[in-house]
């Protein structure tokens, strides 16, 4: 059973993670964090070294939720092609998944931290590599099973696929228009059938 301190730390992280995602590291004030948690600044710093430590832990929490969500379609039963289509289907409704997270933690943190927080920026890049690696593994499994043919190495195709999906997320985030998600997934599904299905 978690201790009271562990429960408090978990509560703080879960509460502030969407705030950091929505407003970014620089845009998130300590007063916003104390107001959201109902704790004093001293109580927050009693659980974390500083704002950067809290932001990193919050990003880790949000990005873990994202990776867990992406693991579900990539680990479903069926062929490798079924898993890739399950992944693209997930992105059709990605807006619903990211709403409680304060937006896409990868996109928002990656862009926000690029020029103002090296540690957060590095963490976002690492999450990108992790996700691309998971997609590449699913593709490679398909090639090895004789289900897929790839015109390029699995990691390169995974990066291209994830880039298009994240581009749709960026356009949805900018405009609020879900058609960017829906139409990009529809296009990718056609591309996948045409280019890599055996």
Residue-level pLDDT at 2: 80
Which pLDDT score, from 0 to 100, does residue 142 have? 96
DSSP helix/strand/coil, 148: strand
**Token reading at 165:** 């999906």
**By the 8 A CB rule, do 98 and 106 touch?**
no
pLDDT recorded at residue 45: 86
CATH number of the domain bearing residue 35: 1.10.357.10
pLDDT of residue 49: 92
**pLDDT computed for residue 8 by the predictor:** 92
Residue 29 is predicted with a pLDDT of: 95
pTM of this prediction exceeds 0.85: yes
Percent of the chain with pLDDT over 70: 100
pLDDT at 145: 94
Q: Which residues 6+ apart lie within 8 Å of 119 measured at CB? A: 52, 56, 113
Q: Which domain holds residue 107?
A: 4-195
pLDDT tens by residue, 33-73: 999 999 999 989 888 999 999 999 999 999 999 999 999 99
pLDDT number for residue 7: 92
pLDDT of residue 3: 86
How confident is the model at residue 83, as a pLDDT?
96
Distance CA 175, CA 102 (A): 16
**168 burial class (0-12, 13-18, 19+ CB within 10 angstroms)?**
buried
pLDDT of residue 37: 97
Question: C-alpha distances in angstroms, 107 versus 73, 124, 132, 182?
Answer: 20, 8, 14, 18
Contact assessment for residue 84 and residue 157, using Cβ atoms and an 8 Å cutoff: no
pLDDT reported for residue 24 = 95
Which residues of the chain are under the pLDDT cut of 50? Answer: none
> Residue 118: which residues within 8 A CB-CB, separation 6 or more?
none
Q: How many domains, the chain?
A: 1
């Amino acid at each position: 059973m978690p201790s009271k301190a562990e429960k408090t730390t978990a509560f703080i992280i879960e509460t502030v993670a969407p705030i950091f995602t929505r407003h970014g590291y620089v845009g998130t004030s300590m007063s916003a964090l104390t107001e959201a948690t109902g704790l004093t600044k001293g109580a927050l710093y009693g659980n974390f070294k500083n704002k950067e430590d809290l932001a990193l832990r919050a990003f880790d929490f949000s990005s873990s939720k994202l990776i867990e969500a992406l693991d579900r379609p990539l680990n479903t039963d069926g062929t490798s092609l079924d898993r890739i289509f399950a992944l693209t289907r997930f992105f059709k409704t990605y807006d619903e998944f990211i709403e409680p997270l304060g937006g896409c933690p990868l996109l928002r943190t990656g862009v926000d931290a690029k020029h103002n927080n090296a540690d957060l920026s590095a963490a976002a890049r690492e999450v990108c590599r992790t996700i691309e690696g998971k997609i590449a593994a699913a593709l490679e499994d398909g090639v090895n099973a004789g289900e897929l043919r790839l015109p390029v190495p699995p990691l390169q195709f995974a990066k291209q696929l994830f880039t298009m999906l994240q581009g749709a997320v960026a356009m949805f985030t900018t405009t609020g228009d879900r058609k960017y998600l829906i139409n990009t997934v529809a296009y990718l599904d056609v591309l996948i059938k045409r280019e890599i299905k055996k």
